[in-house]
Structure 1
């Protein structure tokens, strides 16, 4: 693993460790980057508790809206499929989306930067079309992408293709 490359998602790191592609030390080093990002977010929330609470409420509202319309299991399944998508920056926050004990709102970021929110979704039994807005910084606008997901033979959703909008 090259330190100049972007840090892989936690899920990729777990797979690499299990397959022997990286050592335990390399795994710890890469996971520490993710841990530092989480600690930074917690420090920002502690410094601005009102903004953090407002953001949490908006994220809860977003999660509730999509779960009410399509069901929480499908939303988690979609997030889990997005987690494996290469070059999808928000994947690093989705690695435990399949775990029902982690609240669904934790995976949405409707305010501030970087964003990660659903814009539009059309769900059929064998496919899902999803428009997502994600990323962005103080100077760059967020990216809108459309994802086309399909079910494989074992009925799991996977990303069939994606397009920038």
Structure 2
């Protein structure tokens, strides 16, 4: 059994929770390495909650805008399709926002929780074309106070088990 050394320093991104769960289940990492890496994700969530507590008006406004974004896309394409797209993006390894999408398949988690329309980092859909076997989506994500968010086209296709996966992606610009 080989183990994967999970790096939890600031220079390299921590694998997504979904990757960590897979690695733990397959024996690639130990339970201790899993806990250490998940602690980084938990710390991010706690920091975000603390920011919301410090400025509740901004947090409420952001929540309303995220609800509006989720409602808009769900009304147009259906909540199940939007969750499928989010799950396909979650499995994309070099997609930084994947760390927030790990429970997108769970219907008890509100859809608006996965969108970030205001502040940084951003995660929102700009365009989406849906057909039975393929979906293309233009996603705006990332960004900081000094860097603009990235726009990427994702081309998703269904496999033989009818699950969506990222066939290709390209940065716009």
TM-score (norm 1): 0.99
Provide the C-alpha distance between the structure 2 equivalents of 1:83 and 1:155, rounded to a whole number of angstroms.
Answer: 17
How far the C-alpha of 1:160 sits from its partner, in A, is: 0.3
How far the C-alpha of 1:3 sits from its partner, in A, is: 3.6
Corresponding residue to 1:24 among 15, 18, 31: 31
2:17 pairs with 1:10: yes
| Conserved 8 A contact 2:126-2:138 | yes
2:57 pairs with 1:50: yes
For structure 2, the residue ranges without an aligned partner over 5 or more in a row are none
| Conserved 8 A contact 2:8-2:40 | no
Query: What's 1:151 paired with?
Result: 158
| Conserved 8 A contact 2:129-2:136 | yes
How far the C-alpha of 1:6 sits from its partner, in A, is: 1.6
Query: What's 1:101 paired with?
Result: 108
Aligned-residue RMSD, C-alpha: 0.6
- For residue 41 of structure 1, give the secondary structure of its aligned residue in structure 2: helix
Provide the C-alpha distance between the structure 2 equivalents of 1:149 and 1:77, rounded to a whole number of angstroms.
Answer: 10
